[in-house]
Chain A
Amino acid sequence: MAAPKVAVIGAGVIGLSTALCIVETCPGCSVTVLADQFSPNTTSDVAAGILIPHTYPGTPIHVQKQWFKETFTYLFAISNSAEASEAGIHLISGWQVFKNTPKEELPFWSDVVLGFRLMSEAELQKFPQHRFGQAFTTLKCDCPPYLLWLQKRLKATGVQMYTRKVADLWELHSEYNIVVNCAGIGAHQLVGDEKLFPVRGQVLKVHAPWVKNFIRDGDGSTYIYPGVHKVTLGGTREQESWSLSPDPGTTKDIFDRCCSLEPSLHRAQDITVRVGLRPSRQSVRLQREVLSQGGDKLSVVHNYGHGAGGFSMHRGTAKEAARLVGDCIAALQDSSSRAKL
């Protein structure tokens, strides 16, 4: 069989990192990225990109921990290199504060992030409405820089990228041997996955360069994530809303909630508002599938449904998807050599 032709659908953090992992693990492959949106117009561009995992109810914890650990280790190395500023990756310390003590005092990822510990009484005094807190250091991937950096690395290995709206996976069967579906929320329409649903998130990106620490309310509703140039203020979690238009009432509400956590934000400038639809699912769909029509087949690897945890899990799930692509190639070579007999 000639060099396997792999199409990756989607150019958000999942699509690009998966394409990169495939190139790294299958050097003989020809990889092409197809997407209807590229940075700065992907869902990933709206997200803050902080590495604080979201827990998937349908995935075993040890698997999620493995994905997170792989992602954290990978980014940790880049964060301390000369590439860090171009890639938009940086360390950030801060606090997760709770109004009510959480059931789980130690999240599964507490030994993956750096320096995790409970907040002291003195630290909690800064948050009079909160009674419990955790302090730690984690990583943040700023977008667009991180996506552009991934694109640059892909282009350097010869990967082509095209703007194309794929309406049906099968339309690719004559051009590609394997299709990797990283379409995110687009998978709802692309493969008709009813288990995938949007969770709408509105955020503000503001200029407040004196804010050096992140603050997150443990209930997930309110957060302040300082990036390289802008601070992301959030947020909302509106289930089943497909609207990408910013809501002014929501903007004011987010701003007020964040200012009550960090009063100096009243002086923030250059406020821009963005909306993203988290591609949410009980578990990430990370599996192989073979489509067939007539005598033709198309190998598919799905890697979508990361919801609020895309950045936290991206490298781990990308590596798993690349492994599944490897399995597809092996299966194709196997049936190809058998066909020759």
Chain B
Amino acid sequence: MRVAVIGAGVIGLSTALCIHEQYHSLVPALELEVYADRYTPHTTSDGAAGLWQPYASDHSNLQEILWNKETFDHLLGHLGSPAAKEMGLFLISGYNLFTQPVPDPSWKNIVLGFRNLTPKELELFPGYSYGWFNTALMLECRSYLPWLSNRLTQRGVKFFQKKVESFQEVSGDGVDVVINCTGLRAGELQPDPELQPGRGQIIKVRAPWVKHFVITHATDSGVYNSPYVIPGSELTALGGINQRGNWSEENSTQDHKTIWENCCRLLPTLQKAKIVEEWSGLRPTRPRVRLERETVQHGHGQAEVIHNYGHGGFGITIHWGCAMAAARLLGTILQEKKLAGQPRPRL
């Protein structure tokens, strides 16, 4: 039974690990392979700050809410383990700021210690009249992806550096199931008009005195188009850009100015911070995550595909719940193949 995962960002690698953990002892001949043209540190996931936080105003369905919770609880369980630092996993507290009162988010009971901000705390943030405080998790992909890769390598999973041009290319080669974790470029394997880039830009600074995340929300700007500051284990990410339909991965001087001025206005202490890096990435934005099976017809037959892409700006937040769901879909396929009896003829 050959299973190929396409994509080596947080979605691809975690899905691969989840699948191997669940099925390697149940399916003795399971061969798991990962195909990707970009590996860490060059994936979209590597550029993300890594904060676990779903969107503030939930258009997500109940399923996505549950996947978020599954991810948080899974990570929380790893916090006390010796692997936490290697995974890039740690607790962090911080602020969400609004210009007017808003309903509590669906995730208020998932994170730790959720509460509204007091008037004295709001004095820190002129221009914002309402907000939340809570403790959440950071999962830095520059550590997490290598950690996942190591776990997979230890388990005998094979990695291939390759740009896959079609499902047929992989399934025609004898792969039984393809797991499509190609993020924004899923459209190249199968057109998907709902999948659009949400371009982001981030300035990374050295500001080790900043211990809290600060995320602002503006009702008219849309998600991630309002300044935010997210401290990592070494550098602090400043952002606030989300441009729908912009495919450019080049840093923009205008966006740099916007981010810098807005974040320094938000946190005046940042004025003295030294700029170390700048990065642009494309969030694989979709109205909802595409997580489903599909039997894709092609010239020489058909391919069993499990899609797991379109996680927008909340890939890290939702990844484990999606990986588990994808693994369940694989389980269904495995059941069907068992019921069908005969192994597929190999030409």
- The chain A residues found within 8 Å of chain B, CB to CB, are 79-82, 84-86, 88-94, 114-115, 117, 119-120, 122-123, 126, 135, 137, 142, 209-213, 226, 228-229, 263-264, 266-267
- The chain B residues found within 8 Å of chain A, CB to CB, are 79-82, 84-85, 90-93, 112-113, 115, 117-118, 120-121, 124, 133, 135, 138, 207-212, 231, 233-234, 267-269, 271-273
| Bound form: Cα–Cα A123–B269 in Å | 30
A-B contact pairs, 5 of them (CB 8 A): A90-B269, A93-B211, A126-B80, A212-B231, A264-B85
Is there contact, CB below 8 Å, between B268 and A91? no
Known: A114-B121, A211-B90. A264 touches B84 (CB 8 A): yes
Is there contact, CB below 8 Å, between B85 and A80? no
Is there contact, CB below 8 Å, between B211 and A86? no
Cβ of A228: which chain B residues have Cβ within 8 Å of it? 208-209
| Interface majority SS (helix, strand, loop, mixed), chain B | mixed
Cβ of B138 to closest chain A Cβ, rounded Å: 8
- Using CB atoms, name the residue of chain A closest to B126: A80
Cβ of A123: which chain B residues have Cβ within 8 Å of it? 112-113, 135
Cβ of B138: which chain A residues have Cβ within 8 Å of it? 210
Cβ of B90: which chain A residues have Cβ within 8 Å of it? 210-212, 264
Cβ of A20 to closest chain B Cβ, rounded Å: 21
Is there contact, CB below 8 Å, between A120 and B113? yes
| Bound form: Cα–Cα A126–B90 in Å | 12
- Using CB atoms, name the residue of chain B closest to A145: B209
Known: A90-B209, A120-B113, A228-B209. A85 touches B269 (CB 8 A): yes
Cβ of B289 to closest chain A Cβ, rounded Å: 26
Cβ of A80: which chain B residues have Cβ within 8 Å of it? 124, 267-269
Known: A80-B124, A115-B133, A126-B79. A209 touches B234 (CB 8 A): yes
- Using CB atoms, name the residue of chain A closest to B90: A210
Cβ of A57 to closest chain B Cβ, rounded Å: 29
The 8 Å CB contact of A137, one of B85, B91, B121, B233, is B121
Cβ of B92: which chain A residues have Cβ within 8 Å of it? 212-213
Cβ of A137: which chain B residues have Cβ within 8 Å of it? 93, 121, 133
| Bound form: Cα–Cα A33–B106 in Å | 57
Is there contact, CB below 8 Å, between A115 and B272? no
| Bound form: Cα–Cα A114–B115 in Å | 12
Is there contact, CB below 8 Å, between A209 and B272? no
Is there contact, CB below 8 Å, between A81 and B269? yes
Cβ of A142: which chain B residues have Cβ within 8 Å of it? 209
Q: Which of B115, B207, B209 has the most CB of A within 10 A?
A: B209
The 8 Å CB contact of A82, one of B211, B212, B231, B271, is B271
Cβ of A267: which chain B residues have Cβ within 8 Å of it? 85
| Bound form: Cα–Cα A213–B211 in Å | 8
**Given A91-B124, A142-B209, A263-B81, 5 extra CB contacts under 8 A:** A82-B271, A88-B209, A209-B233, A210-B233, A228-B209
Cβ of A74 to closest chain B Cβ, rounded Å: 14
The 8 Å CB contact of A209, one of B113, B208, B269, is B208
The 8 Å CB contact of A86, one of B79, B135, B272, is B272
The 8 Å CB contact of A85, one of B82, B121, B209, B234, is B209
